[in-house]
Amino acid sequence: MMDLSAYRDIFIEELNDQLERMDQSLLALELSPSVELVQTLFRAAHTIKGSASTMDFRELSDLTHEVEYALEWVREKKPEMTSELIDTLFRSLDAMKVLRDQYIRGEAYADFRTVVREIKDLIQTPAVVGKLAAPQLQPAEANVAQVAVESGKHLLSIHILLEHKCMMKAARYHILRQRIEDICGTVVTTSLMEIQPGAQNEDDHYSQFIIITATSKDSQQLETELSTDSDIHTLEIHPYMLESNEVAAASAQPELMNEPEQTKPSLPTVATSGPEEKAKAAQPTVRVSVERLDHLMNLVGELLIDQTSLADLSASGARKESSSLIQSISGVSDHMGSVIKELQDGVMKTRMLPIDQLFSRFPRLVRDLSQKLGKDLELVIQGGETELDRMIIEELSDPLIHLIRNSADHGIESAEVRGESGKPSKGRITLTSFHEENHVVIRYSDDGKGIDGDKIKASALSKGIISEEQAARLSTQEAVHLIFEPGFSTASSVSEVSGRGVGMDIVRSQIGRLNGIIDIDTEVGVGTTFTIRLPLTLAIIKGLLVKVSGRVLIVPMYNVSEIVRISPEDIQMIQGQQAILNHGRIVPFHRLCDKLNYPRTERKSKTIPLVIVRSVDKIAAYAVDEIIGNQEVVIKTLGTYLGAMNHLSGATILGNGKVALILDASYLVSH
């Protein structure tokens, strides 16, 4: 058998694209039915079926064949786009996604016979066509079918209706049955037309029939070979799945009775792979426009020219005056610096993706939440073209999902309550993104009931999250940020959507890991806005270089709120903890050397340089020995050899060749 593992990543990437296309098209079809959208869905399903069949991924190929058949029925019959039809298609799409995930992880494939039956019921293709009964396998036949499946074959149901003018239908039936057996290898059973007793033409007994066969060929190949017969009026080929009673009847394979809900994966490259292969998911890829690649090639060409210039200067250095040589080298160096900077920007852009690739997943989520909660919700997306590092986009999914679920469940009122408040019955969630300096800003808002800071404070107090003394010091705005505390929830009961007190904590921790900041702006009765600020990329950052106990450390600039100098008298003791007043706000004070267990050094100046660091919604001031300056640095991961180093996010190599550690500001502030 041909080794298909080389095409695995390409197949997964194409599969993801087509599934995403189907998701978006189904959402659009529900809002505004059109022939073009049905055609787009049909093409996507046909592409998935073909590529899955090529990759020997029969489970997906067979399921997609049923979806394609349903879409063909929609295209031809043009039925009303009822919620039942759309929901069934969405469930089918979800089943395809589950199979994709199981394929990537190398797991056993789930049984989706229920979904297949829903599709068949929906498009009105019952098990009995006229008086043609669906075949019921006898124990011996079920055993033959099960053995064939175990050997790597799959079962197909071939439904043939002969032309009315066909002479000698019985003879044509036997000819076709033998032909199918020659092509497929095994005919498991057949079902013939039932005719009324005393009928004059017994040949009608063979006018239509169903043949169940076990084969290694796919349905398209078989359909191509059989469709040339002029006596066949209609030919329908579908995957056949053994019912649970038929599996039980196959007594020669008793071990299968223990797992009726799973079938073994038939893909050799997945099912027979070792632990290393199973652990390795699809390699992450990113599409880059040819224009950007051409630009990078041109820059590399300019660097090669500069390299040649330096080589010439080196060769002629002995013959040139030092002042002239230095001037020439300086010119080449300046040009190289400019090209390298442009090359760096170009390479960073190849990692960038439009954030719409993330936002486009959420209309389906909002639709499902709207149905589950019985609320009329709409999602408005703006700024989808904003580009962000691929890695950040992937990590942003969970926080935004939690925000959407909380808004839908707790934030947006029911239609009745909104009507009483003079609001439109449809609740609105808005997602906006845009660039601001070296950051990307994502603004998430809803027009719900807002967050009542006093209620939040009371709930946190009753749950023991804060003390009465802490509650007394908190302003209403500060109390709102308590929703990010672990275990906090104002929900009176736990629902499928939210209310467990873990969602908003995840939002804060995820944003913190991305070196981001989140702010809340809320007004009771009007709505809530979450503003998330994130760096463009995590690969190259602008860092603040500081010296602590003779060591050079780096603090990411997007976590630096302010740099100030204070006198020792400005440090106060508040509730047993050192703190300073900064713009009227109490900020915890720490010596960075103590935090990192470095020895203290003697202070030479009268003032103390402070770096005020902010992460998500927390802030702290750190005393350092010296502020060196800021520069762009390339982050290198530390790997697992050093063990858990939570206070560090990586390291970099400075211009003098020395290694400088990069601090994880979110960890320092929260611990």
Q: Measure the CA–CA gap between 11 and 55, rounded to whole angstroms.
A: 8
Is position 656 annotated as part of the catalytic site? no
- Choose among 336, 506, 482: nearest CA to 405: 506
**Given 159, 238, 402, 406, which residue is catalytic?**
406
Looking at residue 628, its amino acid is: I
Q: Measure the CA–CA gap between 311 and 660, rounded to whole angstroms.
A: 32
Q: Measure the CA–CA gap between 428 and 230, rounded to whole angstroms.
A: 58
Q: What is the three-class DSSP state of 612?
A: strand
Residues 6+ apart with CB under 8 A from 81: 29, 30, 33
**Given 59, 68, 387, 413, which residue is catalytic?**
68
Q: Measure the CA–CA gap between 402 and 41, rounded to whole angstroms.
A: 29
Concatenating the DSSP letter of every residue in 365-385 gives HHHHHHHHHT--EEEEEE-TT
Identify any residues that bridge with 618 across adjacent strands, giving them in sequence order. Answer: 615
Q: How many helices (DSSP H) and strands (DSSP E) are in the chain?
A: 23, 24
Backbone angles phi, psi at 435, to 5 degrees: -90, 140
Identify any residues that bridge with 614 across adjacent strands, giving them in sequence order. Answer: 619
Q: Measure the CA–CA gap between 656 and 303, rounded to whole angstroms.
A: 22
Is position 46 annotated as part of the catalytic site? yes
Angle between the 503-513 and 390-406 helix axes, to the nearest 10 degrees?
160
Q: Measure the CA–CA gap between 42 and 195, rounded to whole angstroms.
A: 37
Helix (H) or strand (E) holding 399: helix 390-406
- Dihedral over Cα of 324, 327, 329, 331: its sign: negative
- Choose among 388, 393, 384, 294: nearest CA to 348: 388
Helix (H) or strand (E) holding 188: strand 186-192
Please answer whether residues 221 and 156 qualify as being in contact, where contact means their C-beta atoms are separated by less than 8 angstroms: no
Please answer whether residues 541 and 597 qualify as being in contact, where contact means their C-beta atoms are separated by less than 8 angstroms: no
Question: To 5 degrees, how large is the angle CA 16–CA 157–CA 106?
Answer: 35
Q: Measure the CA–CA gap between 126 and 38, rounded to whole angstroms.
A: 23
Residues 6+ apart with CB under 8 A from 289: none
User: Burial letters for 17-35: b for 16+ Cβ neighbours within 10 Å, e otherwise?
Assistant: ebbbbbbbbbbbbbeeeee
How many CB atoms neighbour CB 328 within 10 A?
17
| C-alpha count within 13 angstroms, C-beta hemisphere, residue 480 | 17
Is position 342 annotated as part of the catalytic site? no
- Dihedral over Cα of 535, 541, 544, 548: its sign: positive
Backbone angles phi, psi at 126, to 5 degrees: -70, 170
DSSP 8-state class, residue 135: P
Catalytic amino acids? 46, 68, 406
